[in-house]
Amino acid sequence: MFPHDFAWGAATAAYQVEGGWDADHKGESIWDAFCHREPSGVLGGHSGDVACDSYRLWEQDLRCVRDLGLTHYRLSLSWSRLLPHGTTDHVNQTGLWYYYTPHNNVLRLCSTGVRYYNQVINGLIACNVAPMVTLYHFDLPQALQERGGWQSPHVATLFDAYARFCFQTFGDRVKLWITINEPYVCAKLGHEDAVHAPGIRQPGVAAYLAGHNMLRAHAAAWHSYDAIYRSKQGGLVSMAINSDWAEPLDPESTEDAAATERYLAFTLGWFAWPVFVTGDYPEVMRAAVDRQSERLGRGNSPPRLPRFSKDEPGILGTADFFALNYYTSRKVRPGGGRGGETLLGMKTDLDAEGVVDPSWPVCGVPWLAVAPYGLRKLLKYIKATFNHPAVYVTENGFAQMGPVLMDDIQRCGYYQDTIVEVAKAIEEDGVNVRGYFAWSLLDNFEWSDGYSVRFGLFHVDFSAGERTRTMYRSGREYAQIISKHRSRAQPENPS
């Protein structure tokens, strides 16, 4: 049994679904720039210019949400749609609209960006679906990238101003906030591996700095919410942290156990440790980075993994719940940072490699080995390590590649098995799981895989002007799971 108020959700992100990349004076984001200027960076030269066209077809998305019977929908706001230059000096006021808020009888002047998100949020609330809103899902305004992006220390203040603008504008209706989605992915794929926007490859340096500023930005926004908005709005704020479950390849090997500890410290721990445990990075991570700096003759001054300033508001305690994105698991052994490695980089620092257990089927994308049991293990680990927080699984999903199967039986099995593991984590391990969000509501723009990888509960026909949405079998089964649990959770009729 799931708690009666369990959140049953699905998620999307602005750049992956909205399209309208320059509609109504929207500013350019780093993903617009990445796709337009480095088309070879994305499979097939695809871009999110139109995507699911949700900027125009948002009412169809609401229909999908209703058809699934969701209680919650997680969407992200496009920073550069709201603030084209990234700063609050220039709110998108060029296309002005008046809108009426019936609950307080006010006629307001607002920008088209604000108007767009008001329509979506109000539409959700009208059908009794609670919005969970992510402020940042990989799409920094390009104007801020040109000022140093996540590597600039100033980005934290700019993010805080943007966050306040959003809390102020939408916080009367939004009660669940995610500041930053997957800082690990933004930092590493965008600044170490150059496979995500902004396409930077400065191994062993830029990702740590970008990640550091994301933590500072997140903490600044959480403190603003806490000090200014919480008492009036009563919402909760967190950061969505992604992690594989990891365990030693050889359960008897102390080397594999140590490599596993590093593996978890460099993914989950990198962001969760500062927020939930000490206000600083895991000691294992700092020691590993410093060790390689010494070994490669780079020295530790300044340290590549930056230190938090005591003069800024602290990072510790800046999450009101744990937001976890889980997809897959790995078995871990040492590798990558031994004698032969001469290159500075996160791989060398980590000195651990994750392999897929041969019994785990690999689905559409090569990285996604199916291991639902890993979610239960990870939830249990989070309970033990991060002081028994309330947890929302803010993403979990399964991809198709190649010919589209509307009868996506494998995905149905993935969801069923994973949801059973969540139930066991609640019932048998006592983890306080408050909600589960499938990734994704719709097939959408899957970053460097373009449209070749489909994660939706709804199929989207990207060749049709109307981007027709059709429910997959997995959507029907997820709807049934939700309906079963929601009806069980109804209070008994007293008569």
- State which residue, 74 or 434, has the beta carbon closest to ligand GAL: 74
Q: Is 110 helix (H, G, I), strand (E, B) or coil?
A: strand
Answer positive or negative: Cα dihedral of 204, 205, 207, 208: positive
Count the helix, strand and coil residues of the chain and give each as a percent rounded to the nearest 5.
Answer: 40, 20, 40
Size of the site for ligand GAL (CB under 6 A): 12
Nearer to ligand GAL, 208 or 447 (CB): 447
Query: Does 395 sit near ligand GAL (CB under 6 A)?
Result: yes
Minimum CB separation of residue 484 from ligand GAL in Å reads: 26
Tokens of 377: 């293990």
Residue 242 vs 318, nearer CB to ligand GAL: 242
Annotation marks residue 395 as catalytic: yes
Four-CA torsion 321, 324, 330, 334, nearest 10 degrees? -50
* 162 alpha-carbon distance from chain centroid: 18
Considering the rule CB under 6 A, would residue 242 count as an interface residue with ligand GAL? yes
Instruction: Rule CB under 6 A: say whether 386 interacts with ligand GAL.
Output: no
**Is 447 an interacting residue with respect to ligand GAL (CB under 6 A)?**
yes
Residue selected from 8, 439, 451, 478 as contacting ligand GAL according to rule CB under 6 A: 439
Distance CA 275, CA 277 (A): 6
124 token code pair = 């959700």
What residues contact 483, with CB distance under 8 A and at least 6 apart? 69
The position carrying tokens 């969701």 is: 70
- Least CB distance from residue 492 to ligand GAL, whole Å? 39
Catalytic residue among 28, 395, 421, 446: 395
Is 443 a binding residue for ligand GAL by CB under 6 A? The answer is no
Work out whether 436 is an interface residue with ligand GAL (CB under 6 A).
Answer: no
- Closest to ligand GAL by CB, 177 or 439: 439
Contact between 471 and ligand GAL by CB under 6 A: the answer reads no
List Cβ<8 Å contacts ≥24 apart for 294-299: 296/342, 296/344, 296/348, 298/344
Cβ–Cβ < 8 Å for 27, 80: yes
Q: Contact with ligand GAL (CB under 6 A): which of 145, 179, 181, 233?
A: 181
Hey, which residues between 48 and 77 contact ligand GAL (CB under 6 A)?
Answer: none
Cα 136 from chain centroid?
A: 8
CA–CA dist 183, 178 (Å, integer): 11
Q: Give 122's Cβ-side CA count (13 Å radius).
A: 12
Closest CA to 4 of 97, 62, 71: 71
Question: In the structure encoding, which two tokens stand for residue 59, read together?
Answer: 């009412």
Stretch that binds ligand GAL, among 33-41, 177-185, 223-231, 251-259 (CB under 6 A): 177-185
What is the nearest approach in angstroms of ligand GAL to the Cβ of residue 242? 6
Q: Which stretch binds ligand GAL (CB under 6 A): 95-103, 201-209, 426-434, 439-447?
A: 439-447
DSSP state of 492: P
Stretch binding ligand GAL (CB under 6 A), from 178-186, 213-221, 249-257, 307-315 = 178-186
Q: What is the dihedral of CA 191, 396, 135, 34, to 10 degrees?
A: 40
91 in contact with ligand GAL (CB under 6 A): no
As measured in angstroms, the least distance from the Cβ of 327 to ligand GAL is 7
Q: Out of 159, 245, 398, 455, which residue is the one contacting ligand GAL (CB under 6 A)?
A: 455
Q: Provide, rounded to whole angstroms, the least separation between the CB of residue 185 and ligand GAL.
A: 5
d(CA 159, CA 82): 13
244 is an interface residue for ligand GAL by CB under 6 A: no
Among 7, 10, 13, 305, binds ligand GAL (CB under 6 A): 13
78 touching ligand GAL, by CB under 6 A: no
The residues, any chain, with a CB within 8 Å of residue 70's CB and separated by 6 or more, are 8, 9, 10, 129, 482
Least separation in angstroms between CB 53 and ligand GAL: 18
Smallest distance from the beta carbon of 251 to ligand GAL, in angstroms?
29
The reply to whether 185 sits near ligand GAL by the rule CB under 6 A is yes
Should residue 7 be labelled a site residue for ligand GAL when binding is judged by CB under 6 A? no
Fill in the amino acid letter for 341.
Answer: E
DSSP string, 229-292: IHHHH--EEEEEEE--EEEESSTT-HHHHHHHHHHHIIIIIHHHHHHHTSSS--HHHHHHHHHH
Closer to ligand GAL by CB, 11 or 249: give it: 11
Whole-angstrom Cα distance, residue 240 to residue 344?
A: 28
Measured from the CB of residue 39, what is the shortest distance to ligand GAL in angstroms?
A: 19
**Shortest approach of ligand GAL to residue 446 CB, angstroms?**
5
- Where in 314-343 is the site for ligand GAL (CB under 6 A)? 325
Please report whether residue 446 would count as binding ligand GAL according to CB under 6 A.
Answer: yes
Q: To the nearest whole angstrom, how small is the minimum distance from the Cβ of residue 448 to ligand GAL?
A: 10
Only one of the segments 40-48, 181-189, 228-236, 273-281 lies at the binding site for ligand GAL (rule: CB under 6 A); that segment is 181-189
Q: Does 182 bind ligand GAL (CB under 6 A)?
A: yes
Catalytic residues: 395
Q: Which residues of the chain form contacts with ligand GAL (CB under 6 A)?
A: 13, 16, 181-182, 185, 242, 325, 395, 439, 446-447, 455
